[in-house]
Chains A and B, each alone.
Chain A
Amino acid sequence: MILWPWSRMRGVLSCRQAARAIQSYLDGEADDVTGSAVVAHLEVCRQCGMKAATYESIKDALGRQSSPVEPEVVTRLAAFVDELVHSGTPEEPGTP
C-alpha cells in the first residue's frame, strides 16, 4: 500500500498529482484516502478520466497476455525441489 504525501490533504488532487496516483489506484496499491481522492478527481476531470480509462484498458490488455505456467513445468520444478532436499547439493570447494 503506497501512502502518498497528499493523503492528509482532504482528497484534492491536481491533474499532475492525479497522473501518478491513478496508476497506483488501478494497480490496487493506493491507500484508501488516495483512492478516494482519485475517484473524486476522475469524477470531475474528463481529461484524466479518459487517461485513466486508457490505462485501465492497457493493463487489462496485458493481463490477457498472461499465459498460465504449463503444469508440467511446475511438476518438474517440484520434483527438482524434492530431489534437492533429499539428495542435497554438492559441497562447494573449500566448504567444510
Chain B
Amino acid sequence: MHDVPATSPRVRSPRTAAGQTDPADHERSRTDPADHEAFTRLVTPELDVLYRVARTLVHRPADAEDLVQDTLVRAYRAIGTFDGSHPRAWLLTIMRNTEINRNRRRRPVLLHDADMVRGVSDPGTEGQPEESLVGGAFERAVVRAVAALPERHAQVMTLVDIDGLRYAEAAEALGVPIGTVMSRLHRARAQVRRRLTAEGLAPRGGTS
C-alpha cells in the first residue's frame, strides 16, 4: 500500500516550490514573526497526514511531497487570514485547490496506473507465509476490489480507511459535501463487498 518512494528526488526550496501559484492565494507574501511561529505550530503536527492525503490525491506517488510543499507555500501566504480553528481542514482545503491548479497546469493529464492513482497496490504473493494465506487472500482481494472501483470511489475509501480521515476531513480534501463522502463510501464498500462475495470470500447478504 502506498508504494511511494522513500524519498522524493525533487527536494525543493520554498522559493522554487513557490514558483507556480494562483493570484487568488496571495493574501500575503510576507508574514511577521508572530505569524512565523503560528504557522510552524499549526502545520508541523499535520505534516504526516498531509503527506498521507497527498499520496492519495496525486496521480503519481512521486508527486506527493511536491504537493505538500506547494500546499505549505500557499498556506504560509494565507496564514494572516486564517482564524486558527481547524488547521487540518484549512490545510486540506488548500491542498485540494493546489492539486486542482497543478493538474490544470499539467494538461493533458496522462492516464495513470490504477495502483498509482489510488495509493493502493496489490501486495502480491511473493514472500507470503503459508500460514497467513487465508487472511492474505482476503486482503489482496480487498485491495484488488478497491483498485477496480471508479477513481472517486476508490479515493474516498482510501482517505477514510487507509489514511484515517474523518468524513468531514475527507470532504475538505475532495471538495465535496459530507453527504457525498458518505454516499460514495457506501457505494464503494457495497461494490467491494459484492466483489468479495462473488469471489467466495464474503457471505451473501441482502440489500446493498
Contacts and interface: CB of A to CB of B under 8 A. Distances in A.
Contacts of B65: 73, 76-77
A3 B203 CA distance: 30
B77 interface: yes
Given A61-B138, A74-B47, A74-B48, A66 B36 contact: no
A27 B6 contact: no
Contacts, number: 164
Nearest to A91: B29
Contact of A92 (B21, B76, B178): B21
Contacts of B13: 80, 83, 87
Interface stretch (B80-88, B92-100, B105-113, B157-165): B157-165
A51 B189 CA distance: 10
Interface string A19-33: 110011001010000
Q: Interface SS of chain A: helix, strand, loop or mixed?
A: helix
A51 to B, nearest CB: 4
A84 to B, nearest CB: 4
Given A77-B65, A84-B14, A47 B205 contact: yes
Interface residues of A, number: 49
A54 B39 contact: no
Interface string B184-208: 0110011011001100001111111
Given A50-B203, A94-B23, 15 more contacts: A15-B207, A27-B160, A48-B205, A58-B161, A61-B143, A62-B161, A63-B164, A69-B51, A73-B6, A76-B7, A77-B72, A80-B69, A86-B36, A90-B29, A91-B29
Interface of A: 2, 15-16, 19-20, 23-24, 27, 29, 47-48, 50-51, 53-55, 57-59, 61-67, 69-70, 72-74, 76-78, 80-92, 94-95
